[in-house]
Amino acid sequence: LTLEKGKTMHLLRAIGFFHVNMLLLGTIIGSGIFVSPKGVLKYSSLNIPVSLSIWAGCGLMAIMIALSLTELATTFPVSAASYYFLKRSLGPSAAFLSLWIKVFSHCLGLGTQTLLIASYLIQPFYPGCPPPELPIKCLALATLWSFGFLNARRMKAVAWLQSISTVIKMSVLCLISLTGIVLLVIGKKENVSRFENALDAELPSASQVVEAIIQGCFAYRGSLILANIAGDIKNPTKVIPKSVISCLSIIVVFYVLVNVSYLVVLTPKEITTSDSVAITWVNRAYPSMKWVISLGIPFSSLSSTACIILSASRIFYSASQEGQMPLIFSMLNDHHSPIVAVTQVVVLSTISIISSNLTSLIKYIGLINIFNEVLCMIALLKLRYQKPALPRPYKVCLPFIFGTLALSSFLILTPLIQSPNIENIYQVIFLFSGLLVYWLQAYLYQHSDNFKTITCYLQLLFNVSPSDKQDKDILAE
């Protein structure tokens, strides 16, 4: 790819307020609301009030975290704003640890998302029995690579696809929510009976509550996408805060209503034994619409895959510009897309699809994301103290920062204290192996000239050119 003299390569700020809202709504309303109800109810000991409270509490926690990261994204409106900010606040080691967490979180999330979509699409062809694992994985891989190709082409195409998909998702959630409200108002005995003595149900232990919260937080995990794609958003200092507050408030209300509707139509045991809660709900509530909803749910979730790839590739892009990843990841093609970063995300996600235990994947994703949020809150407080005069277009309330720190610490420490197991050791090893990888790659990068040769070959293969550094974008704004 050759450039005319005087021209530069950089990410285009091509996403306006409407598409930002559609991206945020569509990314959050993904596989989580169709998978997490099973885990939340299971770890709530089938206690309905506790389960619904956890859904509302997870929503409030997501709002606090998103607003805290909004301060970072508006202060430093660049790709992967939280990573960029951590490097300047806590140093390169903490930033690389955050990068390590985010890369695996996004790739595991992509594996979960595509496996769920594939299982929903194939399930109608195997009524009354679970579908084979091989066709599910093959369809998941085909979905993943298709949207990787779309991300390598045009950003606008991803935004429009997400807008159409979001309308479908909101329609499905409206149908489920309104059905539950109508059935409650009608007051049929079989629909209302399970709510009558709900307060007498067994209370879960503290460690079970933590597990339920982690499952619930998975359904809100897309709320951080705006901090990762801030470099693609028009006028990010005004658009991001408005979108976060409005979209997340709508989603919390919908999620609670959808879970009420699940419980109106299905018993708690039916929910916890179902691999596809929404499909089971449709079979009971609208048997004649089984095929429509069965296909509508996965098709509406397809675009979330494109957005997760978009978000993850921007993390690679930012880390490459900061010198903590190979330079090739920050090079752009003629569509202004970091195609090598997109390819790397797709390859890592392909590996994660090998493991198809969705509940376990959600658990690991939730825990490592919580640790990353703690790092961001500590960095935010440090920068507030060290640079109080730094221009901040949006400034989050301090109680939100301290509240996020307290809740995150509770979620991390409670399982370690109450019910420690071998999985906790694996999680700690995974987290701090990121530091070992950081020191190893820093040493190799300084003492090997082979990286330059490999970069040249890859640059020719993918037809990409170096991009402007993000600091220039901030100074320009």
Q: Residue 50's domain is classified under what CATH number?
A: 1.20.1740.10
Q: Tell me the Cα Rg of the chain.
A: 22
Q: Are residues 321 and 330 in contact, defined by beta-carbon separation less than 8 angstroms?
A: yes
Indicate if the pLDDT at residue 56 is higher than 90: yes
**6 in a domain, yes or no?**
no
Question: How far is residue 29's CA from residue 309's CA, in Å, rounded to a whole number?
Answer: 16
**28 in a domain, yes or no?**
yes
**5 in a domain, yes or no?**
no
How would you class 81 by CB atoms within 10 Å of its CB: exposed for 0-12, middle for 13-18, buried for 19 or more? Answer: buried
Size of the chain, expressed as the number of residues it contains: 477
Cα–Cα nearest to 141, from 430, 389, 348: 348
Kindly indicate the confidence band of residue 57, based on its pLDDT and cuts at 50, 70 and 90: very high
**87 in a domain, yes or no?**
yes
Domain containing 290 equals 17-476
Kindly indicate the confidence band of residue 256, based on its pLDDT and cuts at 50, 70 and 90: very high
**11 in a domain, yes or no?**
no
CA distances from 426 to 183, 432, 438, 449 (A): 46, 10, 19, 34
Cα–Cα nearest to 69, from 299, 208, 241: 241
Phi, psi of 308 (to 5 degrees): -70, -40
Kindly indicate the confidence band of residue 475, based on its pLDDT and cuts at 50, 70 and 90: very low
Q: Which residue has the higher pLDDT, 71 or 36?
A: 71
pLDDT of residue 277: 82
Indicate if the pLDDT at residue 84 is higher than 70: yes
pLDDT of residue 449: 65
Residues 423-467 have pLDDT tens digits of 667 777 777 777 777 777 766 666 566 677 777 888 888 888 877
Kindly indicate the confidence band of residue 53, based on its pLDDT and cuts at 50, 70 and 90: very high
Q: Which residue has the higher pLDDT, 366 or 93?
A: 93
Kindly indicate the confidence band of residue 6, based on its pLDDT and cuts at 50, 70 and 90: very low
**397 in a domain, yes or no?**
yes
Number of structural domains the chain divides into: 1
Angle at 227 between CA 372 and CA 384, to 5 degrees: 70
The dihedral over CA atoms of 436, 439, 445, 448, expressed in degrees to the nearest 10, equals -80
Distance of CA 24 to the CA centre of its chain: 10
Q: Are residues 20 and 239 in contact, defined by beta-carbon separation less than 8 angstroms?
A: yes
Question: How far is residue 149's CA from residue 161's CA, in Å, rounded to a whole number?
Answer: 14
Indicate if the pLDDT at residue 304 is higher than 50: yes
The dihedral over CA atoms of 262, 119, 104, 15, expressed in degrees to the nearest 10, equals -80
Indicate if the pLDDT at residue 1 is higher than 50: no
Q: Are residues 297 and 277 in contact, defined by beta-carbon separation less than 8 angstroms?
A: no
**440 in a domain, yes or no?**
yes
Indicate if the pLDDT at residue 2 is higher than 50: no
| Residues 121-140, mean pLDDT to the nearest whole number | 80
Contacts 24+ apart (CB under 8 A), 290-293: 290/124, 291/124, 293/172, 293/175
Alpha helices, DSSP H, located in 123-235: 133-151, 155-186, 189-196, 206-218, 225-228
Kindly indicate the confidence band of residue 8, based on its pLDDT and cuts at 50, 70 and 90: low
User: Coil, helix or strand for 130?
Assistant: coil
Buried/exposed code over 94-105 (b: 16+ C-beta within 10 A; e: otherwise): bbbbbbbbbbbb
Indicate if the pLDDT at residue 3 is higher than 90: no
pLDDT of residue 433: 78
Residues 143-172 have pLDDT tens digits of 888 888 888 776 667 777 777 878 888 888
Q: Say which DSSP state 287 is in.
A: G
**253 in a domain, yes or no?**
yes
